[in-house]
Amino acid sequence: MLPIGSTIGILGGGQLGRMLSVAAAQLGFKCHVYEPEKNPPAGETSAILTTALYTDYTALEKFAKSVDVVTFEFENIPSKTLDYIESIVEIFPDRKALKISQDRLFEKNFLTKLGLETAPYLKVDDVTEFKDAVKKIGTPAILKTRTMGYDGKGQVKITNEDQVKQISKTFKTSNHILEGLVDFTKEISVISVRNSKGEISCFDPGENLHENGVLKTTTIPAQIPRALITDAILLASKILTALDYIGVLGVELFISKGKLIVNEIAPRVHNSGHWTQNGCVIDQFEQHIRAISGWPLGDGVRYMNVTMENLLGNDILNTEIISQDARAAIHLYGKKETRPGRKMGHVNRLFPKN
Ligand code: AMP
């Protein structure tokens, strides 16, 4: 067990880092956040902030030597940076999960090997592979970059032959996959956690609605059959165990024709788990800090029904109106600049559990 007063290093200073640092402070830890951008959301809530590039090895060394354990709040940290940090201090979750989730092809291969269903997919490295993949998978389909994609970025939906011709003419970069479009009825996610003793806890699956590829709301409980809820939890546990994982893992699933299809896994706390801050005694942020610190896991049982709504862009201007609802728990990220679609905060609305 990491002693109280230890320092946790967090790579990335966004809202997830901010909420992790608040949870860490509650347990008596200090946080040291490392973030290339100035004035990050997590800087305001952490004991120490380093503003430096991920390629600044002097700053990385100082950071790594100042902390007792390192975690991260987003996946796309350069592997050389992680190699360097890891030569000094342990990183949780470990590199295996990151390697898989950083690359959509590795991720889908891993899930398939585990016997889980994904959208049909093929790797696309050139025009010939692209045309071949369209022939085999058919349309509608989605061409996705293998790496660095998030919130629907780096994705093109392909619905007709003209588009195939157009992309064939301009396709230059390698490292893509083509995914068949899943005809889903609902999107759900399971926020799961595992500690070094192999103990696992999963929060109730939430039902997610997206707007332009960005999560808008998560509603708990998901309105799906009980058996699917159990299956989703077992599926997440299977992934955690296969990865010998330590920390919180988000598992995004489609429900299609009564079956669970894995969309992607995120080796970190997850936007669709923000409802746990007000619906549970121990939330996803505390579970993550507990897991990476070698503490026993908390009880993730849910006490309320919750709707989590992301405040995107100018939605933040409605804060005063939202604040008039006494059952609306507001969480703002302290971002200085509002941009369309930018995650500025979220609100958890609570309802009695029936
Ligand atoms: P992703 O960044 O891959 O999670 O994609 C963002 C959103 O796009 C998902 O939450 C889905 O709503 C949608 N999407 C992505 N891939 C597929 C797919 N193969 N079939 C249907 N919808 C998809």
| pLDDT value at residue 9 | 98
> Is any ligand 1 atom within 6 A of the Cβ of residue 182?
yes
Contact present, 245 and 297 (Cβ < 8 Å): no
CA 176–ligand 1 middle distance (angstroms): 15
Q: 183-203: buried (b, 16+ CB within 10 Å) or exposed (e) per residue?
A: ebebbbbbbbbbbeeeebbbb
CA 19 to ligand 1 center in whole angstroms: 26
Look at residue 152 in the predicted model and tell me its pLDDT. Answer: 65
**Whether the model pTM is above 0.85:** yes
Q: Which residue carries 């862009």 as its tokens? A: 313
224: Cα separation from own chain's centroid: 22
The response to whether residue 187 sits with its C-beta less than 6 Å from ligand 1 reads yes
The neighbour count for residue 342, using CB atoms within 10 Å, is 17
Residue closest via CA to ligand 1's atom 13 equals 213
Query: 79-86 and 57-66 are packed helices; what angle lies between their axes, rounded to 10 degrees?
Result: 40
Q: In tens digits, what is the pLDDT along the chain, a chain of 354 residues?
A: 999 999 999 999 999 999 999 999 999 999 999 999 999 999 999 999 999 999 999 999 999 999 999 999 998 899 899 999 999 999 999 999 999 999 999 999 999 999 999 999 999 999 999 999 999 999 999 999 998 776 667 788 999 988 888 888 887 778 999 999 999 999 999 999 999 999 999 999 999 999 988 999 999 999 999 999 999 999 999 999 999 999 999 999 999 999 999 999 999 999 999 999 999 999 999 999 999 999 999 999 999 999 999 999 999 999 999 999 999 999 999 999 999 999 999 999 999 997
Atom number, ligand 1, closest to the C-alpha of residue 184: 21
pLDDT of residue 103: 94
Domain boundaries for CATH 3.30.470.20 within the chain:
186-352
Ligand 1, from 137, 142, 177: best to mutate by most atoms within 8 Å of Cβ?
A: 142
Structure token digits, residue 149: 């994609």
CA of residue 183 to ligand 1 center, whole Å: 11
Residue nearest to atom 5 of ligand 1 (CA): 152
Fold assignment, 7-91: Rossmann fold (3.40.50)
Residue 32 has a pLDDT of 98
The pLDDT, as a whole number, for residue 172 is 75
CB 17 within 8 A of CB 35: yes
What ligand 1 atom has the least distance to the C-alpha of 215?
Answer: 10
142 close to ligand 1 (CB < 6 Angstrom): yes
- Cα-to-centroid distance, 38 and ligand 1 (Å): 31
What's the burial of 178, exposed, middle or buried (CB within 10 Å: 0-12/13-18/19+)? buried
CA–CA separation, 341 vs 333, rounded Å?
14
**Residue 324 C-alpha from the chain's centroid:** 30
CATH of domain 186-352: 3.30.470.20
Neighbours of 78 (CB within 10 A): 11
Alpha helices in 38-126 (DSSP H): 57-66, 79-86, 95-101, 104-113
Every domain of the chain with CATH number 3.30.1490.20 lies at 120-180
Q: Could you tell me which CATH class the domain 120-180 is placed in? A: alpha beta
d(CA 30, CA 6): 6
Question: Rounded distance, CA 339 to CA 148, Å?
Answer: 20
Residue of 111, 158, 263 to test ligand 1 pocket, by largest number of atoms within 8 Å of CB: 263
Pair 305, 278: CB distance under 8 Å: no
Q: How far is the CA of 195 from the centre of ligand 1 (A)?
A: 29
